[in-house]
Amino acid sequence: MALRNPCIVVVGAGVAGLSAAKKLKEYGFNDVTVLEASEKVGGRVASTTLGNACVDTGAQYIHGASEKNPVYCLLKKSGLLNQVPDMGTEAFYSNKGHKVDANFAKRAYEDGEAIIQHRGFNTGKSLGEHYAEKTQGVIDSLQDKDEKTRMQSVFALVGKDMLIDVGASDLHRVSLDSWQYYINMGDSLNVAGLMFQLVDILLKDFPKDCLLLKREVSQIKWDGTFSAAPSPTAHTEAASEEKVRQYPVCIVCENGEEILADHVIVTISLGCLKAQASSLFIPSLPTEKMEVIDKLCFGNIAKIFLEYEEAFWENEVGTISLIYEDDTAASVSTNKMQWIKNLQYFSVLRPKERFGNILVGWCPGDIADLIETMTDDELSTAVTDHLKMFFGHSNIPQPKSILSTKWRSNKFVKGTYTFLPVGVDGQVMDTLAQPLVGSRCPGEDLQVLFAGEATMKTLYGTVQGALLSGHREADRLAAHYKKTADPTSTTSLDKQV
């Protein structure tokens, strides 16, 4: 029978965990505790200070800038979207040391994008296979040899950029059916320097004493009978009726602390589940859930922040793309021996008045893993030489400061976001999202619930996917306890996912 005042613990204070906790409070649950392993909240929505600016080391894109997107709505309501600047122009450079005609490059890029963003349905193919085949068809249809070469190199750039979007090392490992179930919310919006403030919005009005930092969880014991003595402040009559309260879940922290609960919502990353799931849960997770954790891939991207005294790029430029003229769409994959070839995309943090002169270089997959092991001096020298080759002059200076993200080596995240490998259907994420069903305590339903972007086949890899997964689990518990929330606190999209 459902308890009147259940104790709910949320593991992880990323966007999924914070959104679950916030919505549980809106439903009227008053015994909600959030445990966060690190010293900071926000998870993969994160920031740091570089120079005089606060920069997003984690998520910085709203994937779907429309009223359908709850992240867009939250940032818009707060007024933050009024600060989003003009994104500037796109500049393209060749490895031969000259500028590429932007009009041609943009047209070719759009053609490649239309091919690579194909939404496959049960094809069983890889994205790499599809992209190489379709782009080759376009190349073969051209008559001019020079145009073929130029088109081919831009198509390769599109493929490399897709590796960054996915966080993968090889398009031939990525499923063509990746977006089979995806909800398209509209165009993406770069909110660099603003996204991290979403965390403050989610924390607003949440009791500080219910958020416990530096509480790394080592074990989640469930389907048990764990006892807690009644509170000293409990009414005498209630205490006499039930001397000891029983809980089905016990969360054990690394510091030895044990927290008992009726329900736990696990929001840790897929990367952490891959590393810890076999030892984290007692009893073990069901075989089908472990298989999903094993099958899904958890990618990585690195951002390299380069701060300069003066900009060497033109004032109106917002992005810089580097094109290798000998690249082809079929050759798109990473090679650690030539890692610098996968540093082809740079974004400029704008406006200059807020950020100064900062370039951000982006790298995917195992190249991102490699960069995490390099020193600042190694990176600075390699990137500077790289830029000199493309810009065709030697007066590009070393950055005055450099900072690279380290998501793979972060023990509480172990990567950036989920992607679907070839042969894996997105429906497996539904299996990952299913709550655990106990056997010894059949009356204690929904003991362990799961949230996070990896549990959302419609929006995985996105901030709104994480947020809505937290809402989903809060809704699940509210339905279990027959609670209703203030209609103004919900989002209409919750019912779609």
Which pLDDT tens digit goes with each residue over 141-179? 999 999 999 999 999 999 999 999 999 999 999 999 999
What's 8-45+195-297+414-496's CATH class?
alpha beta
Query: Tens digits of per-residue pLDDT, 390-438?
Result: 999 889 999 999 999 999 999 999 999 999 999 999 999 999 999 998 8
Q: Could you read off the pLDDT of 290-312 as tens digits, one per residue? A: 999 999 999 999 999 999 999 99
pLDDT in tens, 64-103: 999 999 999 999 999 999 999 999 999 999 999 999 999 9
| Whole-prediction pTM | 0.94
Q: Which pLDDT value is given to residue 394?
A: 87
C-alpha–C-alpha distance, residues 258 and 268, integer Å: 18
Please check the confidence at residue 32 and state whether its pLDDT lies above 70. Answer: yes
Triad 248, 203, 190: Cα angle to 5°? 120
Position 1 confidence tier, pLDDT thresholds 50, 70, 90:
very low
pLDDT tens column, 196-232:
999 999 999 899 999 999 999 999 999 999 997 665 5
Q: Is residue 465 over pLDDT 60?
A: yes
Is 80 exceeded by the pLDDT of residue 239? no
- pLDDT band at 441, cuts 50/70/90? low
Confirm whether residue 37 is marked as ligand binding: yes
CATH class entry, domain 47-53+82-182+298-404: alpha beta
Whole-angstrom Cα distance, residue 419 to residue 424?
A: 10
CA distance linking residue 9 with residue 247, whole number of Å? 12
Is a pLDDT exceeding 90 seen at residue 486?
no
Cβ contact 419:178 at 8 Å: yes
Q: What SS3 state is found at 53?
A: strand
What totals of helices (H) and strands (E) does the chain contain, helices first? 14, 23
Query: Would you state the structure tokens that stand for residue 415, as one six-digit string?
Result: 């990567």
Whole-angstrom Cα distance, residue 360 to residue 378?
16
- Per-domain boundaries in the chain: 8-45+195-297+414-496, 47-53+82-182+298-404
36 annotated as belonging to a binding site for a ligand? yes
Instruction: Quickly state the pLDDT bin for 469 (edges 50, 70, 90).
Output: very high
Task: Look at residue 409 and give its three-state secondary structure.
Answer: coil
Count Cβ atoms below 10 Å from residue 223 Cβ, excluding itself. 19
Q: Please provide residue 383's backbone torsions phi and psi, each rounded to the nearest 5 degrees.
A: -70, -40
Q: Please, which residues bridge with residue 49 across strands?
A: 54
pLDDT at 238 over 70: no
> What is residue 493's predicted lDDT score, i.e. its pLDDT?
52
State yes or no: 217 annotated in a binding site: yes
> Could you report the per-residue pLDDT of 56-72, keeping only the tens digit for each?
999 999 999 999 999 99
Q: How many residues does the chain have?
A: 497
Contact residues for 377 (Cβ-Cβ < 8 A; gap 6+): none
Is the pLDDT confidence value at 121 over 60? Answer: yes
The DSSP string of 286-352 is: PHHHHHHHHHSEE--EEEEEEEESS--S-TTEEEEEEE-TT--GGG-B--GGGGGGG--EEEE-S-H
